Structure formats: C-alpha cells, structure tokens
Amino acid sequence: MSTKIAVGISRGPNSLEAGRDAAFSAKVNLGSDEITLAIAFSSINFDLSEVVRGIKRVIKSAPLVGSSGAGAITNAGSQKRAVVVMLIATSDIKLGISAVGPIASGKERASGRDLTQQAMDQTKGFNRHAFSLFCDSLINNPADLLSGMQEILGASFPISGGFSADDGHFGKTYQFFDSQVLSYSAVGILWGGNCECSIATGHGWKALGRPLTVTSHKLNRIKTIEGKPAVGLYEDYFDENVNDLKQSKLSKIALLYPLGFYVSAEDGYILRNVLAVEDDGSLICQGNIPPGAEVRLMIGTKESLIKASQDAAKSAKMYIDKKNKRTIAVIIADSFSRYKLLGRNADKEIETIREVFGHNTPIIGFYSFGEQAPLSALDYMGKSYILNESISILAIGV
Amino acid sequence: MSLLSAKALEIFINALGLFGWLAVILLVAYSLDKKERLKKASKRLSKIESAFDNLDEQAKLIVKTDLELNKTQEELDRKVSGLFTLQRISRTISRTFDKEEVFRRIEKSFLEDLGFDKVLLFIWKDNILTHRASVNYDKDKIASILDSLQAEKGRGSILSRIKMGKTIAKTKETVLGETFEEDVKKIFGLEYFFVTPIQLKEKTIGFIVIGNTSEEYPITEGDSELVKILSTQIGEALENAQLFEETWKSHQELETKVKLRTRELSQALDEIKQVSKRKSDFISAVSHELRTPLTSIKGYASILISEKLGQIPQKVKERLKKINYHSDDLTQLINDLLDISRIESGKTELDLKTLNLSELVNEALDLLSPQIKEKGLETQITVSKELPKLTADRRQLERVLINLIGNAIKFTPKAGTISVAAKAKDSNMQIDISDTGVGIPAKDLPYIFDEFYRSETAINENIKGSGLGLSLVKYIIAAHNGKIWVKSEIKKGSTFSFTLPLA
C-alpha cells in the first residue's frame, strides 16, 4: 500500500456535516478506503461530539486522534471556524496511538508514563521517531506530564504537538480519541517504522531591555524578580498600576510582550505567556519556569514571527531532505497568541510554510494554548520543552 | 614615639638596604596604580551601568511606542476584517428577495467573524414584537427577553428608545445610567452590547441586539459603525425584499390581466379570422359564380361583334364592344379578387425560382412601353444586371412590377419621370418604384394597401381602378416574406418600396 496522506476541510455550518464533509473531502483526496489513522482538529464553535460522529461516519472503524483549537490550519491557510481532517493510509509507517484522562492533579507524571507506554506497546520491534502530543491546556502541571513521558521515551526523544485550545476564554478544551470527546486528557501518536520525522520550532521574539534574575519561583509561578514582586517588571516597562494589570490588562500586554527565559544549553529563549497576577505580585505563567532562570522582556513584529516560522519549516524540511526522504505530511501546532498577533497576516504565515514544503504537501494543524518541541532541530534532537507563543512543526518523510 | 620604637625603625631602615628601598618604592607605586586602575574600572563600570540604564529606558520607550502601534494595528485589523465580514453579509442577504431568507442567512460564522458572541433580531409585525433571528440564545431566554421588554413601561424603556430610532450602547468608552445599564445587561445577558434600530424608510421596523458576554472582550465605539452598517444592510435587504414582493404581486396581477386580455384578443382574432375566411370564401364563391356568366356574356358579345350571326347596326356594335370591354374589366376585377382570396387563405402555392430582377423590370417596362410613350414619360432604371438574384414566383413578381409601374404611369402627368431602382441589403433586395406624379394625401397613406380603398381625390375619380391592385401587391409581397411601404408627397410624387429575399 505504501503511504498516502490527504487533508480535507469544512466550515460547517452544521457540526455533523462539518465533520463528515471534512473527512469525506480528505477521503476523496486520499483515494483509498483503507484508512490507518485520522487526525482531526476542530475549532470550538462546533458541537464536537457531532463533529466526531460526522468524521466516524466516513472513516468507520479507523482510529481517530485530535484536538480542539482556537482555529484550524490546512494548505488553504488558517480558518477561525473549521474542521480539518488528515487521513493516513500506510503500510510503511507504524503508528501507536494512546489516550489518558481525565488527568487528576498530582497524577500528571504517571499519566505521561501511561500515555507513552500504551503507544510504545503498539510499536514494539519498530524504530520510533517522534511523539505527537495533544494535551488539555487546563491540566494542573503539564510539565510533569512531559517529564513522565520522557521517563519512558528518554529525555531527548522528540515530542511535538500542542495544548488543546478554545476560543481564547480558557474555559474548557477537548481532545478526540476514536469516538470519544475528552477533556483534561492527553492523546498522542507515536510515529515509527519506515519513515523519518523532523521537528522544528521558532518564535521570532527578540530580547529587550536588561537581563533580570528570577530570584524566587515555583512551577509556573514567578514570585520575585531581582528580589522584588515579579509584576514589577511589567509595571516598570509599561508604566502601569498593578491593579490595572490585574484587571485582565496584563494578559493582553503579555500576549505581545511575553517573558523570555534564556536556556544556555540550547542557546535560545523559551517564551512564557503571563496568564494572571496574584495578590502578592507573583506572575502566573502558562508553563513551568526553567531552572536558574534569567528573564527578559521579549518583543516581536509580524515579520519576525513569520520569518521564524519560515526558518522552522526550512529546518524541518532540510532534515527530511538530508535523509533522502520526501516530506509527505506536515502537522503544525501554532500558538493562539501568534494567531491573535498576526491577525489578518495569519494566512501569510501558513502560506510561507506551504511554500517551503511545496504546495501539494498535505498540511494540518491548529492554534494551541502552548506547544511542545525540542528547541534544536536537524541532526541534534534535543530535549523537548513546553513552549508558548511558538510554532511547532512536525514533518513526516518517507 | 618612644626611644625603643625610634631605635627599632632605625634598625629596620638600615636593614632594608638599597634593594629593600627599591622594593618598597615599587610596592607603593604598584599600590597607587592599582588604586588608580580600580578607580578607572569603577568609573567605566558606572558608565556601563548608566548606559544599561539608558538602554533600558530606551527599551521602555520602544515598548510603549510598539504597544501603541499594536493597538492601532489591532483596531485597524478589526475594522478591516469587520468590513470584509459586512461585505460578505451584505452579499449573502442581498442575494435573496425573501424576507424569511434574509433572517435565515444571518449566520453564526458572520457574528464570530465580527467579534461578537450573541445576536438577536426582533421585528414588529402588525404592532406585535416578534423574534426573527438569533445566534447563541436558546428559546427560553428569547421568551424571557420578550416578556421583559414588554413588561418595561414608560418613555425611558428600551422599546420606546428604539422606536424613537435611538441606539442603546454599552461599550468600553460609554456609560449608560447605572440602573438602566444593569437592566439592559440583565435582560439580554450581555456585558457589552449595541441595541440598534432597523429602519425602513426612516420608520423603525425592528431592532438588532448584538454584544459580548465577557468583560474580557469589551466592544468599542469603533464597533458601533459596524453595527450601524449591519442594521442598515438588514433594513435595506428587508426593504428590497418588500419591494420585490410588491413588484412581484403587481407583476402577477399584470400577468393575469395580460393573460386575460391576450385570451380576449385571441378570441377576437379567431373571430376576425373566421369572418375573414367567410369573406374570402364568399368572394371566392361569388367570383366563381360571376365569372361563369361573365364568360358567357363576353363570349356572346364577341360572337355578335364578329357578325357571324348576321350584320348588326353600328350603334349596336359599339354598345357590344363596350359590353366586351367592361366584361374584360370585370373579369380582371374578379381574377384579382380570386387571387387575393387565394393568397390570403394560403391556397396559392408560390412557384419559387431564382430570378434576375433586371430582366423582369425590363420585361415589365416593355409591356408598359406604349403607355409610357403615349404620356411622354422619362424612365430612369437603376437596376444592375450584376445584382444578386432573387427567390420569387416569376408570374407573381411580374404582377407586382406591372401593377406598381402601371400605377406610376397612371398617376404621373405627361413628361414626368418614372424611376425603378434596386439594391441588395443584408439578405434582401429592396426595389423602389418612384414617380413624379400627383402624390397620395397623408391621410390616405395608412389605408392605401387596403382592399377597395381608393383615395378620394379629383384625379383618382378620373382614373379607372378597382382598389384591389395594391392589396394584391401587398399579399404577394407578404407571401414572399417581404415588406412593402410607401412614401409620398402631394404634387411631388410617390415611392413604393418593397423587399424580397435574395437567392
């Protein structure tokens, strides 16, 4: 059978029809009835149970993995309201799929181990290349889930993907696994067999102002910077009163000016969105704070963001090319913050990626509340991190 | 200093010797240099520190400027995408002329693209407020909103403000009266909102409620323009639908009237056809009945004139010749009538052939040359032999030419001019027969081709004619799918033109 991959999209308006039409369109493009796996992303505006029901009507018993997003991505660009489906029919690639959840607080690490082990069991005896993770963004400690996964996969095994999103309200997010629509869960795909996977990431933000030392933090909370309440950083730079910042203003400012934590081992910055300010002036970030952190305010432009995505795409493609393989599919988790910031230019970002991989290479993706990827790509597959305001690109080559 | 200490110092100085002194001097010098260098490094450090501070201050300025730019850009993006969405909505709702369809086409996706959470649309129908469209409201909530709106009383109520054409807005910038604001928020379940009238010919026919439920997503004054455009577009679409409905209704009425009238006309036409057929049948029958005895009269008159039955007095002979002569006229008249009747009833089949007009014109002129010569008329013939050929029945076309040229001769005074011209035009040949004759009064022109119609002029009274010649010509031309018409001016002459199809 070799490998065939195709993508379909539908904008609805009816949820069942949107799922069915997207899957049907993908199936028509695939030209095969033997579907090995379906990957689906849907914006939150649909009744997701109906969307999944619609997809399953077309793919029948084939497995389904996916996530809700703040928007969907295909070769056609970005869509705020759409269902996108990628269908894979393959005898070359060995796929392990898994799901865990609902993930209780404190059980994140164990859930990460469980999620990975399920997928590992299905790919015994095959080379394993990468893990695609789609995880609820509202679980308590996603960093622990990632650590749990790395305990099984190995610290430098490449993990790529994104955290499920809603339309920006941070209310409830969803994961798809076969016929189920889950929440507070994680689903994944372990890519193995006769294929190559390449992961690349980028953000495009540049450090601004003086480097500051995080003097006290725990998990995703920064208590003090340079010995003073962490919120002082934003008060200082934006000349804003702490009370104004508390009243939702900070999340908007931080969307444009996230915090950048320098990771010396990777010679790069990991970004963190600030979600809230606590009464004691602590900043609550979307993702844990790297240890020994030196923090800086980050600034970006639409052009620098798009350039970073283009560089990431080139880097991912170069690895596949170097292995004398052909890129047959691209899976993207792109930050919701980037989508908001790019606005009408969001399509330009996808167009740039499409140009790198070629217009006929199937692309699917979603706008996420956080991404996962190793900071370095190409020959060196470094440790995967939880990222914010970044794009994570997984290229599959055969 | 004690004596002991002074002694000790003296011993120490002596002990140092020359090298010792040198070392001490160097040590002091080094110490002074190090202090100097430390001082300089410290100065440089504070300079760097100050540069860092300056850079940080600059960074703050950059951030503030960038933030302003981003805000402007965001507002611009929002407006542009809002306008795009409005254009899409406009295109969608203006494509239907069905009022109900206008409401159905206000989709959830449009609302989301405009950046709002919820929408409600109400219309007054026969003074009763009815809900026509909604996004993200359930039936129970809509029912409760309707109850609350109708329960409100007084000049300041939502409905009275809307009926006066006022927009009620709660945006990031505007503040309504505290109690009123809370009431509106509670009724519609929105934190930020626009309640905007939909107007048709400046009369409020309904209103649209649009807004966001979360304080996180305030709407701005800038959005008010979008909402006003939206309500105007809905109003226009409804107006168009109403106009279409009215036009359609009047069109239907008109169509019914036209159908009725057409039926009446068709009946009248059938009756006319029947009458005409009866007339033709009658003429045909009468003509046949007349022709037989006429032939006998003419035959007997000819026998008598030939004196085969014995000599007859000269006076009788003259009278008999008149009988013979008038019998010929009568026969001609009857033949013409029969021909008209045949052509009209479609009984005459044309023997269509490819003909050269020039030959036919010359033959007709040859035939009529005695009359032309007798009156001393000049003839101008502009019928080229090279003209394309015609498709026509030779005998019938000869009759047309003889009739029209004959008329021209009849009505042209002595020494006048008769001209015959022909030209090919598109797929037809146009033949013009002109004279410098007496002309036809304008009042007679519309009837000139009618059967038995003769212009009531003094000249006409002196010129013999049945009033059937031109009718016959008209029927022959029509049978060839041609057209005939006349232009005439009193005392200047007439031009009879007709067309025939080219071969």
Residue-wise pLDDT tens digits, B285-325: 777 777 778 888 888 888 888 888 888 888 888 888 888 88
Give A265 or B24, the one with higher predicted confidence.
B24
Distance, CA of B396 to CA of B462 (rounded, Å)? 28
Give B196 or B73, the one with higher predicted confidence.
B196
Q: Give residue A105's pLDDT.
A: 86
- Number of CB pairs, chain A paired with chain B, less than 8 A apart: 56
Residue B58 to chain A, least CA–CA distance (Å): 8
Q: Lowest-confidence range among A131-140, B88-97, B312-321, B485-494?
A: B88-97
Is residue B468 helix, strand or coil?
coil
* Nearest CA-CA partner of A42 in A62, A59, A24, A23: A23
**B67/A253 CB distance under 8 A:** yes
Residue A297 to chain B, least CA–CA distance (Å): 9
- Among candidates B67, B109, B112 on the partner chain, residue whose Cβ is nearest the Cβ of A256: B67
Q: What is the mean pLDDT of residues B42-70?
A: 84
Distances (CA, A) of B290 to A170, B296, B298, B375, B486: 109, 10, 12, 35, 33
Interface test with A, best of B52, B60, B111, B192 (most A CBs within 10 A): B60
CB B306 within 8 A of CB B324: no
CB A310 within 8 A of CB A389: no
- Among candidates B70, B80, B112 on the partner chain, residue whose Cβ is nearest the Cβ of A81: B112
Distance, CA of B425 to CA of B483 (rounded, Å)? 13
In order, the DSSP letters of B10-30 are HHHHHHHHHHHHHHHHHHHHH
Choices 3.60.20.10, 3.30.450.40, 3.40.190.10, 3.40.630.30: CATH for B96-219: 3.30.450.40
- Ranges of each domain in chain B: 14-94, 96-219, 248-348, 352-501
- Among candidates B56, B77, B80 on the partner chain, residue whose Cβ is nearest the Cβ of A209: B56
Q: Give residue B494's pLDDT.
A: 94
Give B465 or A112, the one with higher predicted confidence.
A112
- Which positions of chain A have pLDDT values less than 70? 1, 242-249, 265-266, 292, 376-381
Longest dimension (CA), chain A: 63
Burial label, B224 (beta-carbon count in 10 A; 0-12, 13-18, 19+): middle
Give B104 or A220, the one with higher predicted confidence.
A220
- Structure-token match 């119609």, residue found: B453
Give B394 or B136, the one with higher predicted confidence.
B394
CATH number of B248-348: 1.10.287.130
Q: Give residue A381's pLDDT.
A: 57
Q: Name every residue in B having a CB less than 8 A away from some CB of A.
A: 52, 55-56, 59-60, 62-64, 66-67, 70, 73-74, 77, 80-81, 107-109, 112-113, 214-216
Peptide bond into A102 cis (omega under 30): yes
Q: Give residue A367's pLDDT.
A: 95
Distance, CA of B129 to CA of B42 (rounded, Å)? 81
Quote ipTM for the complex: 0.72
**A238/B77 CB distance under 8 A:** no
Q: What is the mean pLDDT of residues B254-281?
A: 88
Distance, CA of B295 to CA of B323 (rounded, Å)? 12
List the alpha helices (DSSP H) in A133-221. Answer: 142-153
Q: What is the mean pLDDT of residues B189-218?
A: 83
In the chain, the amino acid numbered B220 is T
Beta bridge partners, A229, equal: A224
pLDDT at B13 over 80: no
**B64/A12 CB distance under 8 A:** no
Distances (CA, A) of B62 to A225, A238, A303: 22, 10, 17
Residue B125 to chain A, least CA–CA distance (Å): 29
A171 touches chain B (CB under 8 A): no
CB A194 within 8 A of CB A326: no
In the chain, the amino acid numbered A225 is I
* B87 token code pair: 């254009």
Kindly state the helix (H) or strand (E) to which residue B35 belongs, with its residue range.
helix B3-94
CB A60 within 8 A of CB A31: no
The string of pLDDT tens digits covering residues B415-446 is 899 999 999 988 899 999 999 998 988 888 88
Residue A320 to chain B, least CA–CA distance (Å): 37
- Structure-token match 């609550």, residue found: A284
CB A189 within 8 A of CB A95: yes
Residues in contact with B429: Cβ distance below 8 Å, sequence separation at least 6, in sequence order: B357, B387, B388, B390, B422, B423, B499, B500, B501, B502
Interface test with B, best of A233, A248, A305, A338 (most B CBs within 10 A): A248
CB B130 within 8 A of CB B99: no
Q: Give residue A378's pLDDT.
A: 46
How many of the other CB atoms lie within 10 Å of CB of B53?
11
- Among candidates A169, A209, A256 on the partner chain, residue whose Cβ is nearest the Cβ of B70: A256
In the chain, the amino acid numbered A105 is S
**CA-based R_g, chain B, Å:** 55
Kindly state the helix (H) or strand (E) to which residue A159 belongs, with its residue range.
strand A159-163
Give the rounded percent of residues in chain B with a pLDDT score beyond 70. 93
Give chain B positions within 8 Å (CB) of A209.
55-56, 59-60, 63
**A209/B55 CB distance under 8 A:** yes
Q: Give residue A371's pLDDT.
A: 93
A252 touches chain B (CB under 8 A): no
* Nearest CA-CA partner of A390 in A201, A263, A207: A201
CB B84 within 8 A of CB B52: no
Highest mean pLDDT among B146-155, B237-246, B418-427: B418-427
Distance, CA of A209 to CA of B54 (rounded, Å)? 10
Give chain A positions within 8 Å (CB) of B63.
208-209, 237-238, 257, 297, 299
**A12/B109 CB distance under 8 A:** yes
pTM for this prediction: 0.63
The string of pLDDT tens digits covering residues B273-289 is 888 777 777 777 777 77
* B150 token code pair: 């109708």
Superfamily of domain B352-501: Histidine kinase-like ATPase, C-terminal domain (3.30.565.10)
Interface test with A, best of B53, B63, B212 (most A CBs within 10 A): B63
Burial label, B191 (beta-carbon count in 10 A; 0-12, 13-18, 19+): middle
* B291 token code pair: 């022709």
Give chain A positions within 8 Å (CB) of B56.
209-210
A210 touches chain B (CB under 8 A): yes
CB B501 within 8 A of CB B427: yes
Residue A63 to chain B, least CA–CA distance (Å): 30
**A256/B107 CB distance under 8 A:** no
A205 touches chain B (CB under 8 A): no
**B112/A343 CB distance under 8 A:** no
Q: Give residue A136's pLDDT.
A: 93
The string of pLDDT tens digits covering residues B392-405 is 999 889 989 999 99
Q: Give residue B432's pLDDT.
A: 95
- Among candidates B52, B63, B73 on the partner chain, residue whose Cβ is nearest the Cβ of A238: B63
Q: Give residue A247's pLDDT.
A: 61
Nearest CA in chain A to B49: A210
Peptide bond into A13 cis (omega under 30): yes
Burial B475-495 (b: 16+ CB within 10 A, else e): bbbebbebebebebeeeebbb
Beta bridge partners, B134, equal: B120
Is residue B499 helix, strand or coil?
strand
Distance, CA of B495 to CA of B503 (rounded, Å)? 25
CB B439 within 8 A of CB B428: no
